[in-house]
Structure 1
Amino acid sequence: MATTARIRARLALSASATALLMTSAPALAQTQAPSATMVDDIIVTAQKREQSVQDVPIAVTALSAEALSMRQIDGGSELLRAVPNVTFSKSNFSMYNFSIRGVGTKAVSASSDPAVAVSFNNTPLIRNRLFEQEYLDVNRVEVLRGPQGTLYGRNATGGVVNMFPNLPTFKSEGFVTGELGNHDSLRGQAMANIPIGDTFAIRGAFGFTQRDGFDYNSFNDTRVNDRDLYTTRLSARWEPTERFRANFIWEHFEEDDNRSRTGKQLCTTDPGPTRIGSTDVPMSYTQAQLSQGCLPGSLYSDAAYGAPNGASFGPVRLLGTGPSLGVDLNWNPINLIPLGFDPYKGVVQSRNLREISTSFDPVFRAKNDVFQVNLEFDLTNNLTLYSQTAYAKDDYYASQDYARYVSNPTFTDSNYVYDFFGDLVPSTATPGGIYTDPQLGPSDRILSVDLSQSDNRQWYQEFRLQSKLNDGFNFSLGANYLDFKSQDDYYVFNNLFSLIAEYFYNFKYLPNGGLGTHPCDDQEPGECVYVDPNPLNQINGEGHNYFRSKNVVHTRSWAVFGETYWDLRPNLRLTTGLRYTEDRKDTTPYPSQLLLGANRDGTSAPATGGYARRGYYALPDIKQKWSALTGRIVLDWTPELTFTDDTLIYASLSRGYKGGGTNPPRMDLNPKVVQYQPLSGTFDPEYVTAFEIGTKNTLMEGKLRLNANAFYYDYKDYQVSQIVDRISLNENFDAKIWGLELETVFRPTPTFQIDANLGYLNTRLADGSRSIDVMNRTQGNPDWVTLRPWIQVPSNCIAPRDLAEQVLNSPFGPSMAVFALSALCSGSSRFGTFNPELNSSLPFWQWYGFEYDPLKQAPNAGRGFDADLSGNSLPNSPEWTANIGAQYTWFLGNWDLTVRGDYYRQADSYFRIYNTEYDRLKGWDNLNLSVSLRDAQRGLTLQAYVKNVFDDAPIVDAFTNSDDTGLTTNVFTLDPRIIAVRLTKSF
């Protein structure tokens, strides 16, 4: 009820502002007001030829530079306010999810492609910063909705976002803009266009943004998530003859600040069961063995602001069981972490989504360069050859606290450890209860930091032959080639990992009887685990004391395409398009090596199950190849109607394609030591077949523009991922999508305008769709329980409840039960399935009087029961999106005063395919206001604006982390209220 009342209040405020604009107009309007009331037309190149947006038989939203400025759309992330059925969120690692009509990028893999093609001046960019940098000297932005399988081709199953910069003109012009705002925001832009003679011109633009952080780190008492970025663009134009035109563009973007990749991390604490069936679970560390860390509760409950059950973490459990530092004065064993200790017990987070608590502030660095050369040559008066060459380079480095909350002091003070004779034998491990991690430094608490790093290079070449005939027939024929190389590295550093590597696998006893460590080098005999000795910003990348997912991908794609445009009648046109695409992806898999070691000769040993003590070796390349035939057929009709000035009605059938890829490699474990649950190493391409009908109308002598469409998608092999075994496991599903869209602009007078868009979306996964929900592996089946495995196995498993009870009721004691419960998840031969080649003793399951092989006897090899997804909604697909904007202009002598308000509303949605209460994202709204005062003669514009008037912090998306980190949830939210004043001088 409170939410409904708030929405009504906001709608009432927006309506009141609109009414005020309308009723106050006569009092302030001046006689100098112009008489033109026609809605502005925009020329677009959605079909790679210049056309009025109203003449293009495609659902396309085009925003001019003026429209972007009036709506305060400063970057790609804010386009959702102007385009129906669009959602946007940052992703967990280095990219983002821009979704159109439910089709976006929910597949997280270095080899995955975005489903919405992002283009810069018609050049597709696989990796880009167009959703992080701010718009600079932009001509327009076009958003094409629906598959664009002919002219734009691969990776356009959802649509296309195309940003067009202003190119040089043969006219001297320029501008300077300065802006001041809250959060100590300082922004500036400048542009200068200089013609040199009659055939050559250059244009330069520069923009920067600096501001303090939007978020507060209460532990360090610092502001984080700030901005320090700039963009430079240089372009040149050369037209030596009437038949030849050329332009060159270089754009450089750079950022160096503490931008946060993700927001707060939430968790509904799972304390673990106190009873399994009819058996009590009395010990806290045994309960932790049956805890998954976090429960799948609503992200909007108070309980979600807790922390995971830290006692359930594999490293905590391992260090709590050994190696022993010695004993206390009562001869009780002392371990590096007390047995059963929960480092997060009692930790409660602030309810403020803009407040975190961490000892490590984020680090964010990005550099992006785009070079583009465009050539046009008129072979005849009716035939033009186009060439477009582009090279793009993108480097990215972002690090932040993995958890964004602080643990309790965790480590045992190794200064006060005794031997069995009562003599003090201090250890070098954790003196004073402090462990010094080589990457993260000294701390008495758990430290965990991640690092997302990428290096990308792209070449693109396109040739296109286009006609301008006058006999009712035209065509566009082309071919292109793309070569993209990338290396993505994702690291997780944790001081528990280093502590285990040094004092569990590489430990040695000191002369005084205490516990120490030895380095793992080529001369060290036996098995050991290499620890990188370098600080975080100088790592050598070879350490096995941290998690590293190294992904090297080489994508090559070529295509030939063509479209024809037939005027069947003066008012009836048939468009046909066809494209053949061939993709090749070569992936070099590098298995992760967290806490894996080997003997000096590279042989595996029972302790870890690894094959290398240092470095990351490559497995054989995975070579994939796909070919696809895509295209479209469109019939559009421009009838003469008595009630419209201009009408276009169209019906289209189109098909889009997006390539598949490889799932990141898991650990390469010796199956005789650790038995892994099977997972697919690749995922399939996806295809969208779309049927759409639409109409574009101009009415009331140009005062009203009204566009509407309806669409239906047959979606095959939709790609979506979740974290399994520390990798992004991508799966494929079929789905159906249908929806409606409405866009309108109404200018009843030269001074007043209303614009609005409305989108309705219905998405449904196909009947029979099934997947394992890592948050609910048993699916409520009382005969099975979820278990934590041994540390070498990252993912949780399920096991029969009766076997778990048998272990808990055994005479071997609770501590041995911990190992036996781990054995039910396979695990190692020491703690799991018996391997006579390595171990001649009885395995645990024979100790307890039963034989059990989870790979054969448990659902999905012990991974869990399938959840039925039939009819579930696709992630990030709200049923309703809507925006309404109104502006009024008063003409006051030489000055124009314009007041504008924009209200956006998005309905409920889900961030995962399982559609549980845990997955639900509440609907949210956003109100922006602006005032602009302009003197066109002097070239002066003064703007003041407020974004996010109500200072809301809705959860716009979320991401579920891995089992071994407790299934915590990273959430994403909007920027807070922003108030700024901007002054622009044009010349």
Structure 2
Amino acid sequence: MTHTTPVRTRPLLLALAVCAASTTQAAKLEEVIVTAEKRATSVQDTSIAVTALTGDELDRGLINKPLDLQFNVPNMLMSKGNFTTAQISIRGIGNLAVGSASDSGAGSHFNGVYLNNGRIFEIEFYDAERVEVLRGPQGTLYGRNTTAGVLNFITNKPNEEFGGDATLELGNYEHQKFKGAINIPITENISQRFAGFYLQRDGFVDNEFTGNDIDDRDMYSIRSATRWQSERVDATFTINYFEEDSSRMRGSNQQCKRDPEGILGCLPTSLANENSHAAATATAFLINTFVEPVVGQAFPVDDFINSPKSDNPREQFLDFEPRYQVEDTMASLEINWDIDNMTLTSLTGYHDSRLNARNDYDFTVASEPWPIDVTLDLGPDGSITTNRLYNTDQSSTSPTQWSQELRLLSDFQGPLNFLVGGFYLTYESEVHYRIRSTSIEAVGEILGIDPEFRIYDNDADKYELETFALFGEAYYQVTDDILVTLGARYTEEEKKSRQRTIYLAFLSDGTDENQGYANFDGKWDEPTGKFNITWDVSDDVMTYLTLSRSYKSGGFNPISADSPVIDPAQGGDPGLAEFDPEYINAIEVGVKSQLLDNSLQANLTYFYYDYEGLQISKIVNQTAINENFDAMIQGIEAEFIWLPIEPLRLSANIAWLDTEMDGGETIDPANINLLGTTQNIITTPFNNQLVGDMCPGGLSPCEGLPTSIDGNELPNAPAYSVNLGIAYTIPVGGMDLTAATNYYWQDEFYTRVFNTGNDTVDSWDVWNATVTLTNPEQGWLAEAWVRNITDDDYITGQYLGDQNVGLATNQFLLEPRTYGLTLSLMF
């Protein structure tokens, strides 16, 4: 690992700054206005741990997309997750549950509109006013699924002045990006703003099998905002369209320590750049059980025994190249109406998205030929005829939602004010996760199964969500320096799901086409609330204490109607059809200060969570089941910005996080005695032939051994993280030349609650730098930039695959070193 360069450079630059401080006057920090409390307040007067980054700060810090936010937000971890999702963890809280009815703990918002299933990790920031990240439970004003916190992406609104900007960005990997905006006043009351971006670049990964580069980007987005303003009414309608057609990879790399015996595909003791033993995957069971006896010829024991595998994670051997296609539309209508000493706000939101993603499932090319040819239907990608094992998967989802929020905010002269409101959301989606394989196809041909069912399909045919909430906060100014806030929210939710899983492993006689649909209907209602007291110690120092309770609703386990898990006749429990909600009782103490004549901003936060009912998935009889556990979380966050002299800006974020499971035991999918496994989604639960021989029938340890998780750390919760930044500006011929660098370091963490060696992601760091020349009078700037200066291939996240890939671990990597030039024109 490379830490030495940035660590040695920072003290030298700091020393130079201190020497210069004696001759240069300190600058003053600018005020940042946020809407974290659903009203406009200064970030330093807001009694919430909130990181607010303006559009200029996003550009200056090379924060191009949401995945970059973790480098600037304390105790935030963001990585790609399993099967096209984003894994967002704030203070150790994310989403460890499985199924279409499970929810993230971090609420994502676009211009204040809650997105139940937004395409967060794909988007690029453009024409942004600011991004706000609220850390900690926000169950009163924001409600459902905000036990971790809130992300709010806020775009620029139209205004009464003509103007705009255009930016061209060129870099290595044939990187080309254009973004721009134009603001047009139409009448005295109506103004219009258009914005958009286009990005195209080559892939970061070389497919050595085809000779192509993959994991490229080809995407664009356009936005229109129309604003009407009168003396009392301010209304803005915004519509945003995003489209991508790329070879974006679900994972960057797959690691495995091959089991030479073939009982497990990968050993659970360590990770290596090896392929799994195919005898321990679904292929062995299907071919050995159904195909070999009919064909009468031997098939390979291990299809991957001579398959190539590179030590370079940027080089892969894939016989199916990824495709990633998204169409996403978001719209919002915000109306603010001033009524004497009150403001009535209506916020209407709409979101519609279509995703199709296809990937090479086994991350390799089978080396051993079969004695027969098989024609595999690849759906929209046509078909292929081959005599080798060939596995590919497809994820598709099509969510649609409408939401409506009404708020009434008072602004009385007396000591008492309030905010009250109501929220309604309706959401529906169809989700499929399909695996297509020559092994499944061969069995289908032998057994005469309808070609429609010669796939594995985790089929959430219809998922519906309807939720309603009433909320409010009362603000009482006890004295000029003390403000007390009481908040409450009541939430009702109903979730309906029609789902099934089609897989050949459950064919009793080789003739059933599929399992029946299961229909679930669950209702939850819960009151939540908070108490806050804020004390202005002085004009420059504010401290606060917050006690709050938040919750995230339960859901349905991804099972079919005749699953043995819920069938009493087969020893099942009907109660396992659902899992319970999560609850967080939180204490937060914070201090916000602006010192040294407003040149130093120093914020400090301590928090403690009593976490009830943490939702975690496990495997029971080849089915993913979510169960609930208790945990404890505490931590400290320190944020500093200092302008010691006019041209110098220093910043630092330091975070500590302590998490601990409170009792309980559950089945470890990586346990050597398991038959089939999964982590974040139920996948092909086929039985490997060799392990099946170890467990001939009845209840046995092969169905999973309970493992104690008492005292273990929560997944995705690094104990320490540090961000350091420095920028220095000097005048050059009427222009400003700024050199800036930013360094981020993150401690090691576990990706599963079992805390094994294979679950560990090592500590990693990244170092970025820019040099910017700005001409304020002529309205242009030129910037040279480099990201990941040391070009490290650090792992930023991972998840455990299922038995179909032999318990291989899929990993996500830090993007490689990129560099380029940006030219911007403002008018």
Matched, 1:153 2:143: yes
* Residue 658, structure 1, aligned to residue 658, structure 2: no
Matched, 1:261 2:223: no
**1:814 maps to what in 2?**
none
Per-residue CA deviation, residues 833-887 of structure 1 (Å, 9 max, x unaligned), is xxxxxxxxxxxxxxxxxxxx31xxx35xx52221111110000100001100000
1:399 equivalent in alignment to 2:349: no
**Secondary structure of the equivalent of 1:918?**
helix
Tell me if structure 2 keeps the 8 A contact 1:586–1:622: yes
- How many residue pairs end up in the alignment? 815
* Correspondence list, 1:219-234, <5 A: 219-234=209-224
CA distance in 2, matches of 1:335, 1:87: 51
Aligned match of 1:251: 240
Q: Deviations over 1:699-721 (max 9, x none)?
A: 00001000001010001111233
Give how far 1:318 is off: 4.3
Deviation at 1:47, TM superposition (A): 0.5
Task: Determine whether 1:919 maps to 2:750.
Answer: no
**In structure 1, what residue type is equivalent to 2:245?**
D
1:707 alignment counterpart: 603
Identify the residue that residue 279 of structure 2 maps to in structure 1.
Answer: 311
Matched, 1:445 2:392: no
Mapped pair 1:167 → 2:157: yes
1:324 deviates by 5.6
Q: Distance in 1 between matches of 2:31 and 2:582?
A: 36
CA distance 1:474–1:547, change in 2 (3 Å): same
Task: Verify: 1:367 aligned to 2:335, yes or no.
Answer: no
Distance 1:719 1:44, change over 3 A: same
2:48 aligns with: 58
From 520, 523, 534, the counterpart of 1:636: 534
User: How far off its partner does 1:76 sit?
Assistant: 0.7
Residue 727 of structure 1 and its aligned partner are, at CA, apart by 5.3
Aligned residue identity for 1:337: F
Q: Which residue of the partner structure matches residue 133 of structure 1?
A: 123
Contact 1:319 1:335 in 2 (8 A): no
Query: 2: CA distance between counterparts of 1:726 and 1:167?
Result: 51
Deviation at 1:965, TM superposition (A): 3.1
- Give distance in 2, aligned partners of 1:70 and 1:391: 31
Q: Cα RMSD (Å) of the superposition?
A: 2.5
1:311 match: secondary structure:
helix
Contact in 2 for aligned 1:880/1:906 (Cα 8 Å): yes
Partner of 2:502: 592
TM-aligned CA deviation for residue 135 of structure 1:
0.3
1:442-591 to structure 2, matched below 5 A, reads: 442-503=385-446, 505-506=447-448, 529-531=449-451, 542-591=452-501
Q: Call closer, same or farther: CA 1:293–1:631 in 2, change over 3 Å.
A: same
**Change beyond 3 A, Cα 1:556–1:265:** same
Identity of aligned residues (%): 34
Summarize deviations over 1:233-271 as a string: whole Å, max 9, x none: 1001101x3111111000011101111121211111112
Asked whether the 8 Å contact 1:492–1:548 carries over to 2, the reply is: no
TM-score, length-scaled by structure 2: 0.94
The offset of 1:321, in angstroms, is 5.7
Equivalent position SS for 1:40? coil
Alignment of 1:555-954 (within 5 A): 555-594=465-504, 606-608=508-510, 611=512, 613=513, 617-619=516-518, 621-640=519-538, 646-666=540-560, 668=562, 678=572, 680-721=576-617, 728-767=624-663, 769-777=664-672, 794=685, 822=692, 825=695, 853-854=698-699, 858=700, 862-954=702-794
User: How far is the alpha carbon of 1:590 from its aligned partner?
Assistant: 2.1
1:76 and 2:66 equivalent?
Answer: yes
Structure 2 counterpart of 1:387: 346
Could you say what secondary structure the match of 1:213 adopts? coil
Whether the aligned pair in 2 keeps the contact of 1:266 and 1:971 (CA below 8 Å) is yes
Name the counterpart of 1:378. 338
Would you say the 8 A contact 1:788–1:822 is kept in 2? no
Q: Deviations over 1:263-306 (max 9, x none)?
A: 2111111123xxxxxxxxxxxxxxx4xx121111333xxxx211
Q: Is the 8 A contact 1:43 1:53 kept in 2?
A: yes
Instruction: Find the aligned partners of 2:166 and 2:9 in 1 and give their Cα distance.
Output: 35
CA change 1:690–1:796 in 2 (3 A) is: farther
Change in 2 beyond 3 A, CA 1:787/1:186: closer
Q: Is the 8 A contact 1:179 1:980 kept in 2?
A: yes
Structure (1 or 2) with the larger CA radius of gyration: 1
Alignment of 1:175-190 (within 5 A): 175-190=165-180
Q: 2:4 aligns with which of 1, 8, 11?
A: 8
**Counterpart amino acid of 1:12?**
R
> Equivalents in 2 of 1:497, 1:197: separation in Å?
64
**Matching residue of 2:680:** none
- Aligned partners of 1:904, 1:334: CA distance in 2, in Å? 59
SS of residue in 1 equivalent to 2:440:
helix
Deviation at 1:967, TM superposition (A): 1.0
Q: 1:278 maps to what in 2?
A: none
Between Structure 1 and Structure 2, the one with more strand by share is: 2
Contact 2:242–2:328 (Cα < 8 Å) also in 1:
yes
Distance 1:674 1:475 in 2: 52
Tell me, yes or no, if the aligned pair for 1:547 and 1:594 is still in contact at 8 Å.
Answer: no
Residues 292 and 299, structure 2, Cα contact 8 Å, conserved in 1: no
- The letter for the 1-side match of 2:316 is I
TM-score, structure 1 length as denominator?
0.79
Q: Do the aligned residues in 1 keep the contact of 2:326 with 2:356 (CA within 8 Å)?
A: yes
Partner of 2:375: 436
Equivalent pair of 2:286/2:439 in contact (CA under 8 Å): no
Residues 924-964 of structure 1: per-residue CA shift (max 9 Å, x gap): 00000011111111110111110111111111111111124
- Aligned with 1:201 (options 191, 196, 213): 191
Against the structure 1 CA distance between its residues 625 and 180, is the aligned structure 2 distance closer, same or farther, given a 3 Å change threshold?
same
CA contact (8 A) 1:97 1:106 kept: no
1:417-460 deviation digits (Å, cap 9, x = unpaired): xxxxxxxxxxxxx2xxx332233412232110000000000100
Larger deviation, residues 186-195 vs 888-897: 888-897
Measure, in 1, the Cα distance between the counterparts of 2:658 and 2:813.
24
Identify unmatched segments of 5+ residues in structure 1: 273-287, 327-332, 413-429, 507-528, 532-541, 598-605, 779-785, 798-817, 827-831, 833-852
SS across alignment from 1:406: coil
Q: Deviations over 1:294-346 (max 9, x none)?
A: 111333xxxx21112112334324424665688xxxxxx942625xx211124
Say if 1:259 and 1:364, in contact at 8 Å, map to a contact too.
Answer: yes
Compared with structure 1, are the counterparts of its residues 383 and 318 closer, same or farther at alpha carbon in structure 2 (3 Å cutoff)? closer
Aligned amino acid, residue 472 of structure 1:
P
**One-letter amino acid matched to 1:749:** I
Secondary structure at the residue paired with 2:82? coil
Of stretches 726-735 and 94-103 in structure 1, the one that deviates more from structure 2 is: 726-735
- 3-state secondary structure, aligned to 1:80: helix
Q: CA offsets per residue over residues 202-258 of structure 1, 9 Å max, x none?
A: 00001011000011111111100000011101001101x311111100001110111
Do the aligned residues in 2 keep the contact of 1:558 with 1:583 (CA within 8 Å)? yes
Q: Is the 8 A contact 1:630 1:657 kept in 2?
A: yes
Three-state SS of the structure 2 residue aligned to 1:404 is: coil
1: CA distance, partners of 2:789 / 2:326: 30
Q: Assess if the C-alpha contact under 8 Å between 2:517 and 2:560 holds in 1.
A: no
Aligned to 1:295: 267
Cα distance in 2, alignment partners of residues 55 and 759 from structure 1: 21
**One-letter amino acid of the counterpart of residue 633, structure 1:** F
Secondary structure of 1:268's counterpart equals coil
Contact 2:89–2:106 under 8 Å retained in 1: yes
Unaligned residue ranges in structure 2 (runs of 5+): 678-682
Structure 1 CA distance, aligned partners of 2:293 and 2:648? Answer: 78
Check conservation: 1:312, 1:788, Cα contact below 8 A: no
Question: What CA distance in whole angstroms lies between the structure 1 residues aligned with 2:314 and 2:43?
Answer: 40
